[in-house]
Amino acid sequence: MTVDANPVDAPSGPGPRLPVMRERGQRQVFCGLAGIVWLHRKIQDAFFLVVGSRTCAHLLQSAAGVMIFAEPRFATAILHERDLAGLADCNQELDRIVAELLGRRPDIGTLFLVGSCPSEVIKLDLAKAAERLSAAYHGRVRILDYSASGLETTFTQGEDACLRALVPELPSLPDGARSLLVVGTLPDVVEDQFARLFAELGISPVHFLPPRHTSAFPPLGSGTLVLLAQPFVGDTARACQARGARILQAPYPFGVEGTLAWLRAAAQAWGIDEEVVTAVTAPAITRAERGLAHHRSELAGKRISFLPDSQLEIPLARFLQRECGMTLVEVGTPFLDRQLMAQELDLLPDSVRLSEGQDLERQLDRLRADQPDLTVCGLGLANPLEAEGLRTKWSIELVFSPVHGFDQAADLAELFARPLRRGALLRV
């Protein structure tokens, strides 16, 4: 082994109004290791040590675009043939690598041991390794583990697994106190915008998970109201509930409608008058509407299909249909959590074809028959579909980009207008 640096439980499906095609077959997705790309930038004192293969290392380095001169806050402890064949003691090797890493990087506040497909195949118990190393480095660094294996998951679930691992570490909220906890990674600029809006609404204290530094973990308890910023953090939501927190039901903060409803859910739980919400949000809504108007003419009437990839598909489809005038042909999502998506599903039109899971060949057959103006899909499918004359949008870009909130609504619409614009130029 060497180091290379560089549902809340609920029945699946929305009910009889929107029938769901459930598909099981060949899948085309990234693994959960991709979540490290945005998590290591967000949690500034954390380090992510992947226990995996050279393929894992190449994936991370390619996805993150790490410069050769940079020393990122992630690395891969590479499993070699001797490790996989059981000829080497993987735990001894892991202890050695962790010792070298912590000796070189004294700034690490939390070390995540991240499981991968290879480490899970050989049954390397990273939970026990984290427990053993935590005892050895007690008082020096917090050591946690989670799985980012892509065997049965999609890539955004890597973040969910990471945040779920943090929940037991959060301090207890004192009895009688209350707080708002926003769950799901947001770019710093978006987090700051939301923090200002919550302050203007009179909602305080407000915490975000993940925090920017693990030395400032948010408190959690029966007085915590949880507002989900991302639709793929279901296990984290359940873990918060298990510690007494209450999940606020709301659409996700994409576009004007979603962001306003999201903020309104927090305001209502806090007992804040609707007049205050209107006054606080009106300037931002005006800016957002003005920005959206520039892209609505390019998007209105265009037909769009989503292949299952990121779990953002349903809220993004709602935004594009209701605020940009696009026609939804098919909305596919890897997993459908009825409770976490209830508010979004109520806003989808009855005409939409909704699918859960993936049978790639069948979905591609439908896509070719539908011939939508735009297809949202994973990187591995985009170029082949473009070669067939279909315009595509990379779904992973929607996870990397600042797209939440009022001030990003026009930027979000522009991400979908751009490939349509490019396609029009290619036809000239």
Dist. CA 179–CA 222, nearest whole Å: 10
Dist. CA 232–CA 154, nearest whole Å: 10
| CB-based contact 179:170 (threshold 8 Å) | no
162 is in an annotated binding site: no
CA-to-CA separations, 34 to 150, 152, 182, 392, in angstroms, rounded: 10, 15, 22, 21
Q: Which residues contact 142 (CB under 8 A, 6 or more apart)?
A: 109, 110, 111, 134, 169, 214
Residue 110: closest CA among 175, 168, 189, 193: 168
Largest CA distance in the chain: 69
Helix 313-324 to helix 255-270 angle (10° resolution) is 110
- Give the containing element (helix H, strand E) for 268: helix 255-270
| CB-based contact 77:2 (threshold 8 Å) | yes
117 is in an annotated binding site: yes
Apex 168 CA angle, 154 and 10, nearest 5: 50
**What length does the chain have?**
428
Sheet of 327-333, strands arranged across: 20-24, 353-358, 327-333, 303-306, 374-377, 392-394
Give phi and psi for 26, each to the nearest 5.
Answer: -65, 135
R_g of the chain computed on alpha carbons = 22
Per the annotation, binding residues for [4Fe-4S] cluster are 31, 56, 117
